[in-house]
């Protein structure tokens, strides 16, 4: 498919009291027209930082984009000034965050908030904006939308609030929707409803979705492709099938093993990934997963593995993919 958003070799660092931390290192991926790409990783893996870089939402005082490009519509968004990015933000690239209150004004009626977005980006009259707002709220599954236009955010449940945010995101018919842990704060049934809603809306609008999540379960129902992030780097990329049935990176193996299986007896303990997430301030030259990897070799400590292309759509950064590496059998029962 045609690429709509292309992130290339992105490096982002944070200024902290203990010095500069490289939060994102050499991240590259393409988002294709109409697809859903998921970026999966533990918290602190740099996935949110990556997403926020796209829309220049990182705090300017403490963050620095060291290198890379984010190409959208033939231009590098990283070179855009405030005014230019404002024109794209919300209109062409919309964002949905974990906490819907990030995007809602608690003191303003829901209807007015949806209408404002429509008027700002579409140059339409109030009457038309009102009609369209009611339609949008109905489309995202808010019952009695006309009456609920007059409610305030606190009068809605968390799930309903996230529906409103999605309605607002869709109000301008964005080409790209970036959803950062959109269902993490919601309970399981509501999670499934919101994900289904996003999927349905994508079918209608053809919007490309970049979904950021720590939860592989979310990905199963949504994404065609997955990028696995660890310690600021993408360690494996592939189609849903490749990642679930032919994963190549030991970190991906760990993620899959720690994931609850659909019909798994709840009393069976999940296998957690041993060790704790890395302190990115202590990263050295080797593989970022070396300290936790059960298959670590000497080379892993001092030399960063390159991405090895496994298929046209599948790549992994692990020395085990190298020709001279010992044959490792993947752990059993992956992807079951
Ligand atoms: Fe493990 Fe080495 Fe592969 Fe890193 S490069 S994931 S440490 S085997
Ligand atoms: Mg996050």
Residues paired with residue 315 on neighbouring β-strands, in sequence order: 237, 309
Distance from the first to the final alpha carbon of the chain: 29
Category of 331 on φ-ψ map: left (φ > 0), alpha (ψ -120 to 50) or beta = beta
Distance 235 CA to ligand 1 centre (A): 10
Establish if 108 belongs to a structural domain: yes
Establish if 117 belongs to a structural domain: yes
pLDDT band at 43 (very low <50, low <70, confident <90, very high): confident
Query: Is a pLDDT exceeding 90 seen at residue 122?
Result: no
Establish if 113 belongs to a structural domain: yes
Establish if 127 belongs to a structural domain: yes
pLDDT at 159: 93
Distance 42 CA to ligand 2 centre (A): 8
Distance 173 CA to ligand 1 centre (A): 42
- Taking only the tens place, the pLDDT of each residue in 222-238 is 999 999 999 999 999 99
The residue whose CA has the least distance to atom 3 of ligand 1 is 318
Q: How far apart are CA 40 and CA 46, in angstroms?
A: 10
Top mutation candidate among 289, 316, 328, 331 for ligand 1, by most atoms within 8 Å of CB: 289
Ligand at minimal distance from the CA of 253 is: 1
The residue whose CA has the least distance to atom 7 of ligand 1 is 290
Beta strands in the chain (DSSP E): 3-16, 19-32, 36-40, 63-72, 75-76, 93-96, 176-180, 208-213, 225-230, 233-239, 307-309, 315-317
pLDDT band at 173 (very low <50, low <70, confident <90, very high): confident
**What is the domain count for the chain?**
1
Judge if the beta carbon of residue 289 lies within 6 A of ligand 1.
Answer: yes
Q: Residue 253, SS3?
A: helix
Structural domain span for residue 114: 93-171
pLDDT at 268: 46
Distance 261 CA to ligand 1 centre (A): 26
152's CB contacts (< 8 A; 6+ apart) are: 106, 107, 108, 109, 110
Q: How far apart are CA 336 and CA 333, in angstroms?
A: 6
pLDDT at 336: 43
Measured in whole angstroms, how far is the alpha carbon of residue 166 from the centre of its chain?
A: 15
Interface predicted TM-score of the whole assembly (ipTM), two decimals: 0.94
Judge if the beta carbon of residue 325 lies within 6 A of ligand 1.
Answer: no
Establish if 65 belongs to a structural domain: no
Judge if the beta carbon of residue 319 lies within 6 A of ligand 1.
Answer: yes
Establish if 46 belongs to a structural domain: no
Q: What is the pTM of this model?
A: 0.90
Judge if the beta carbon of residue 305 lies within 6 A of ligand 1.
Answer: yes
Judge if the beta carbon of residue 320 lies within 6 A of ligand 1.
Answer: yes
Distance 251 CA to ligand 1 centre (A): 8
Nearest atom in ligand 1 to 297's CA: 2
Range of weakest confidence among 20-24, 118-122, 212-216: 118-122
Long-range contacts: 19-26, Cβ < 8 Å, 24+?
19/281, 20/64, 21/280, 21/281, 22/66, 22/232, 22/280, 22/283, 23/49, 23/232, 23/280, 24/49, 24/50, 24/53, 24/232, 25/232, 25/233, 25/283, 26/233
Establish if 289 belongs to a structural domain: no
pLDDT band at 270 (very low <50, low <70, confident <90, very high): low
Nearest atom in ligand 1 to 250's CA: 6
Q: How far apart are CA 154 and CA 110, in angstroms?
A: 10
Establish if 116 belongs to a structural domain: yes
Judge if the beta carbon of residue 230 lies within 6 A of ligand 1.
Answer: no
């Amino acid at each position: 498919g045609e690429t709509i958003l292309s992130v290339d070799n992105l490096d982002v660092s944070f200024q902290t009291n203990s010095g500069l931390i490289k939060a994102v290192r050499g991240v590259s991926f393409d988002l294709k027209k109409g697809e859903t790409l998921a970026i999966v990783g533990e918290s602190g893996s740099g996935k949110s930082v990556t997403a926020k870089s796209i829309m220049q939402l990182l705090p300017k005082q403490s963050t620095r984009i060291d290198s890379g490009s984010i190409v959208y519509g033939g231009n590098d968004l990283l070179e855009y000034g405030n005014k230019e990015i404002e024109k794209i933000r919300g209109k062409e690239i919309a964002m949905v965050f974990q906490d819907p209150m990030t995007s809602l004004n608690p003191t303003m009626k829901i209807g007015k908030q949806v209408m404002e977005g429509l008027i700002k980006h579409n140059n339409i009259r109030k009457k038309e904006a009102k009609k369209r707002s009611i339609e949008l709220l109905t489309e995202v599954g808010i019952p009695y939308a006309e009456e609920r236009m007059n409610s305030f955010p606190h009068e809605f449940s968390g799930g309903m609030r996230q529906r409103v945010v999605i309605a607002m995101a869709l109000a301008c018919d964005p080409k790209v929707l970036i959803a950062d842990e959109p269902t993490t704060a919601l309970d399981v049934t509501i999670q499934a409803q919101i994900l289904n809603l996003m999927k349905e809306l994508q079918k209608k609008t053809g919007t490309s979705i970049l979904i950021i999540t720590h939860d592989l379960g979310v990905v199963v129902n949504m994404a065609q492709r997955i990028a696995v992030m660890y310690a600021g780097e993408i360690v494996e990329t592939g189609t849903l099938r490749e990642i679930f049935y032919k994963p190549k990176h030991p970190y991906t193996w760990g993620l899959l093993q720690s994931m609850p299986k659909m019909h798994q007896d709840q009393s069976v303990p999940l296998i957690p990934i041993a060790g704790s997430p890395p302190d990115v301030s202590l990263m050295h030259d080797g593989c970022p997963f070396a300290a936790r990897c059960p298959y670590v070799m000497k080379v892993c400590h001092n030399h960063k593995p390159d991405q090895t292309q496994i298929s046209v759509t599948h790549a992994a950064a692990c020395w085990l993919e190298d020709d001279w590496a010992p044959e490792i059998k993947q752990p059993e029962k992956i992807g079951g």
